[in-house]
Amino acid sequence: MADINHHKHSTLSENSADSGDKPDKNSEDVVVQARHKRRGAMISSYASAQDLRSPDAENKKKDGSSPKGVIEASLEGLESDIASPEDSPKAEVRCTHAGALSNWRKLFKLWKRKSEKPFSTFPQLVVPRLSRKNNSSKQENPMLRKLYNFKSSLENFSLSQLRAATDNFNRENIIGRGGYAEVYKGRLKDGKLIAIKRLTKGAPDERTAGFLAELGIIAHVNHPNTAKLIGCCIEGGMHLVFQLSPLGNLRSALHGSKGTLNWSKRYKIALGTADGLTYLHETCERRIIHRDIKADNILLTENFEPQICDFGLAKWLPRQWTHYNVSKFEGTFGYFAPEYFMHGIVDEKTDVYAFGVLLLELITGRKALDDQQQSVVIWVQILAKPLLDENDIKELVDPSLGDNYDVEEVERMVLTASLCIEQSPLLRPQMSQVVILLRGDDYVAECSNESQHPSHQRTYSNEIQDTQEYNSTKHINNINRLREIALGS
Ligand SMILES: Nc1ncnc2c1ncn2[C@@H]1O[C@H](COP(=O)(O)OP(=O)(O)OP(=O)(O)O)[C@@H](O)[C@H]1O
């Protein structure tokens, strides 16, 4: 598609260590492990670096299941970093931490102000575990279970079935076009509405590879906030068949001509997308990094329930790995996390950053990349960040909403967004923390006591960001480089 929003790019140097495309390749595993070892010494000498995604002290584990706990644990870590020059020797890092500290403090105040319940009485958080629950009865043989699930749940469509459903792939039935595919609306004989993603771009081999890559991920995914794959067809091309999401994608709903999405719908979309991403990162049988979270890839059901779609770039990240280091630079301008853009590092925080940009779109009504090709990264960092830092909500909220929004929800969303778009992945929350921050006390109060926060290992992007001097000059250079590429100059 001509729109720069949809461009996929391959600009990272080919000789950068690539473990991204073949997770089972031994040599790449060794590269990652060797890197990890090299970094070890540096990390231990920087022991105070606080990983917001895995509050390390045992006694914080319980608190980590409430908004207050998440905020307090993070505040403590940031405060100790700033107060201990020998632990945080880099002035720039202290400065970044100070900014984050101020955001976390605001969030803390917000909860203190709004909550009538004592924090300590909150029960532990339960993250929904759909796929694991669903599969619990077939635990005895995981391989058979997977085959069984795969075969029983996916339909193998014939080309004639898809032709009949789409009036012979009538172009009037095209409901979406992406970088790789055309998507047709169709109706099966039993009346079920479907969306057929027909891979159209690239050489046949590339299409097959893309098809298998997407199928390999999406076939394992099962959550109310992810797109529902119902089958596939490999006759006359590569086709993935999904349940139709009748309201199309979020970009059209938010920026199209159909009118404004009201605040409660935006909030619902933010929450559902956060739930979907939490599932992919932390609850799904596989640890999945989506890598292309953007408004086009959030579909909407008739009830405005968001569904994450387009797993074409998604990566399965083995649990023992800290990250992928990709050589092929793909994704969408406006949503790139700095560590991905600069170093090709992919882990959960890459998605968290993109989710932060998505939150800003929902709050402000601005496009991630506007019609003047102005990158939202620049807008976010130069214009929006000061507003975020000052919590200047009226200035930030989409003017078309007028005063019709819930101030408390907006405040939560603004501050959560500001944390998600932190330059350092270290300072971004993990998605389960995002859910807690966005939903607030009521959600936590509803949860039962059987909380099992998945423990997250430290990721490579933490390490590299800890140990490099990410000073403001580099940051401006990054922004300029993004601007140059975005503007094609
Ligand atoms: N299940 C669905 N229901 C309704 N619309 C859909 C569905 N799946 C896809 N679409 C529409 O088709 C568009 C493109 O789909 P998708 O993102 O999967 O294609 P792609 O070629 O992989 O795109 P990209 O260039 O972002 O990688 C979506 O933005 C959406 O508008």
Prediction pTM value = 0.69
Establish whether domains 155-243 and 248-447 are of one fold.
Answer: no
Ligand 1 atom closest to Cα of 182? 21
What is the dotted CATH code of the domain comprising 248-447? Answer: 1.10.510.10
Ligand 1 atom closest to Cα of 296? 29
The token pair that represents 16 in the structure block: 């950068």
Ligand 1 pocket residue status of 175, Cβ below 6 Å: yes
For ligand 1, atom 28, name the residue with the nearest CA: 176
Q: How confident is the model at residue 176 (pLDDT cuts 50, 70, 90)?
A: very high
Ligand 1 pocket residue status of 179, Cβ below 6 Å: yes
Most trustworthy range by pLDDT among 34-48, 158-172, 448-462: 158-172
For ligand 1, atom 29, name the residue with the nearest CA: 296
CA dist., res. 54 & res. 215, Å (int): 31
Ligand 1 pocket residue status of 245, Cβ below 6 Å: yes
89-118 burial by CB neighbour count: b if 16+ within 10 A, else e?
ebebbbebbebbbebbbbbbebbeeebeee
Q: For the chain, what percent of residues have pLDDT higher than 90?
A: 38
Q: Confirm whether 292 is a catalytic residue.
A: yes
CA dist., res. 424 & res. 478, Å (int): 13
Ligand 1 atom closest to Cα of 214? 22
For ligand 1, atom 24, name the residue with the nearest CA: 178
Query: Residue 139 above 80 pLDDT?
Result: no
Calculate mean pLDDT across residues 29-42: 30
Ligand 1 pocket residue status of 197, Cβ below 6 Å: yes
Ligand 1 pocket residue status of 271, Cβ below 6 Å: no
CA of 284 to the centre of ligand 1 (A): 22
HSE value, Cβ hemisphere, 13 Å, CA-based, for 47: 4
Q: How far is CA 64 from the centre of its chain?
A: 21
Taking the CA atoms of residue 385, residue 390, residue 395 and residue 397 in that order, the dihedral angle to the nearest 10 degrees is: 70
Residue 479 or 206, more confident: 206
For ligand 1, atom 11, name the residue with the nearest CA: 176
CB atoms < 10 A from the CB of 1, how many?
13
Domain boundaries, given as residue ranges, for the chain: 155-243, 248-447
Domain 155-243 classified CATH 3.30.200.210?
A: no
Q: Per the residue annotation, which of 275, 292, 351, 441 is the catalytic one?
A: 292
CA dist., res. 425 & res. 51, Å (int): 9
Query: Among candidates 424, 89, 431, 156, which has minimal Cα distance to 289?
Result: 431
* Long-range Cβ contact pairs of 402-407 (< 8 A, separation 24 or more): 404/262, 404/263, 405/263, 406/263, 406/264, 406/267
Asked if ipTM goes beyond 0.90, one says yes
DSSP E strand boundaries for 284-416: 288-289, 298-300, 306-308, 315-316, 324-325, 345-346
Alpha-helical runs (H) found in 84-141: 91-114, 130-135
Least confident residue range of 149-163, 351-365, 420-434 = 149-163
First to last CA, the chain: 20
Ligand 1 pocket residue status of 181, Cβ below 6 Å: yes
CA of 483 to the centre of ligand 1 (A): 26
Query: Residue 474 above 70 pLDDT?
Result: no
pLDDT tens, 430-464? 999 999 999 876 666 665 544 444 444 445 544 44
